[in-house]
Amino acid sequence: MATLEIHDLHVTVEADNATKEILKGVDLTVKQGETHAIMGPNGSGKSTLAYSLAGHPKYTITGGTVTLDGEDVLEMSVDERARAGLFLAMQYPVEIPGVSVSNFLRTSATAIRGEAPKLRLWVKEVKEAMQRLNMDPSFAERNVNEGFSGGEKKRHEILQLELLKPKIAILDETDSGLDVDALRIVSEGVNRVRETGEVGTLLITHYTRILRYIKPDFVHVFSDGRIAESGGAELADKLENEGYEAYTTKGGVSA
């Protein structure tokens, strides 16, 4: 069983000619088959956690450890982390002009699997996954995220998740900018992956609305760069009723 272990993680970022500490000692363990929701107000450090785990160069790890199946994640390059089984669905997916979705997906699958998927089987696999996400087949020939709506970008992220089959999926505000129909479709895609029992999911969100579709096993409240409280799904209901005021401290951090 794959396990992502985060222990006493500290992260800084350069901003306004100064070094700011964003994460101030995060401890979290995510096992294959589990779904953890990370919730908290703007500026609490949720997205910093996601991008630090993925290896974004903007963020500097100043303390702590991150391991995946006992291997030191922090010593891995970004592509090594992906091949090891870490997946990040970004809040703001970037455009890649000149690269079609079909080529992007097959190249990614080749890197993850260690060999190119057989073309005929791969085409069938992609087509079926796109149908499940209500995506038009012509989508595959468009350039990655170029001219995509917010909903199309998020569906493309979940399409990658379904096809690449990571060990640990980090979903950074996947519900951001989605209307009700797109939220339902995207959530159904996440749930299909979860139901395999082969993926540990770290779901980062401000709001509880996505948790009506994706039921977490654990909920963690982020505040001022730390996990302020952890509990079961009932903690999300508490946040829905009471908000984050009880966890908010002065001088918050930037996510």
Question: Is 3-94+166-247 assigned to CATH 3.30.70.20?
Answer: no
> What's this model's pTM, rounded to 2 decimal places?
0.91
- Residue 220 has what pLDDT? 97
User: What is the tens place of the pLDDT at every residue in 81-94?
Assistant: 999 999 999 888 88
Task: Look at residue 249 in the predicted model and tell me its pLDDT.
Answer: 54
Q: What is the mean pLDDT of residues 201-220?
A: 93
CB–CB of 235/221 below 8 Å?
A: yes
Q: How far, in Å, CA of 113 to CA of 126, rounded?
A: 15
C-alpha 11/C-alpha 147 separation (Å) is 34
Report, as an integer, the average pLDDT of 103-126.
Answer: 93
Domain boundaries in the chain?
3-94+166-247
Directed axis angle between helix 180-195 and helix 119-132, to 10°?
130
Q: Which amino acid is present at 170? A: I
Bridge partners, 204 (sequence order) = 38, 172
Assess whether pLDDT exceeds 60 at residue 253.
no
pLDDT tens per residue, range 228-239: 999 999 999 999
> How far is the first Cα of the chain from the last one, in angstroms, to the nearest whole number?
31
Count how many residues are written for the chain. Answer: 255
Are the beta carbons of 186 and 194 closer than 8 angstroms? Answer: no
